[in-house]
Amino acid sequence: MSGISDEGICPNCGSDKYAIYHDWKPFNLDSSQCYDCGFHTMTTVGFDSLKDLNLERDDIEEWGDEELKPLKELREQTQWAKDNMKYYITEEKN
């Protein structure tokens, strides 16, 4: 398993029992957990709809020197994405 762990201060309750983890394989993932109040964060993994992606592209307008015009269709999901995403689909913790 790749990644680094750290400790910090919980932004919700101020506890020092706040764990932070960053992983970079198979892609960047970040999570944190407060062991006093239960506050937690995690990377959301998924694909945007064409409509949502075009809204995001419109918000940034350009990437370097390239104007980000609306897409007419989404690129197909690669086998790599299909194989790796199934382990990281985010569900709400209860």
Q: Does one domain contain both 23 and 59?
A: no
Q: Does one domain contain both 2 and 39?
A: yes
Q: Does one domain contain both 51 and 72?
A: yes
pLDDT given for residue 12 in this prediction: 98
pLDDT given for residue 94 in this prediction: 39
Taking every pair of C-alpha atoms in the chain, what is the biggest distance, in angstroms?
48
Both tokens of 51, joined, read: 């409509």
Contacts (Cβ under 8 Å, ≥6 apart) of 77: 47
The pTM score is 0.67
Inside any domain, residue 93: no
Q: Does one domain contain both 34 and 4?
A: yes
pLDDT given for residue 86 in this prediction: 73
Inside any domain, residue 94: no
CA distance linking residue 11 with residue 33, whole number of Å? 11
For the chain, how many structural domains are there in total? 2
pLDDT band at 54 (very low <50, low <70, confident <90, very high): very high
Q: Does one domain contain both 2 and 38?
A: yes
Quote the percentage of the chain above a pLDDT of 90.
61
Q: Which domain holds residue 15?
A: 1-44
β partners of residue 32: 20, 41
pLDDT given for residue 89 in this prediction: 62
pLDDT given for residue 92 in this prediction: 42
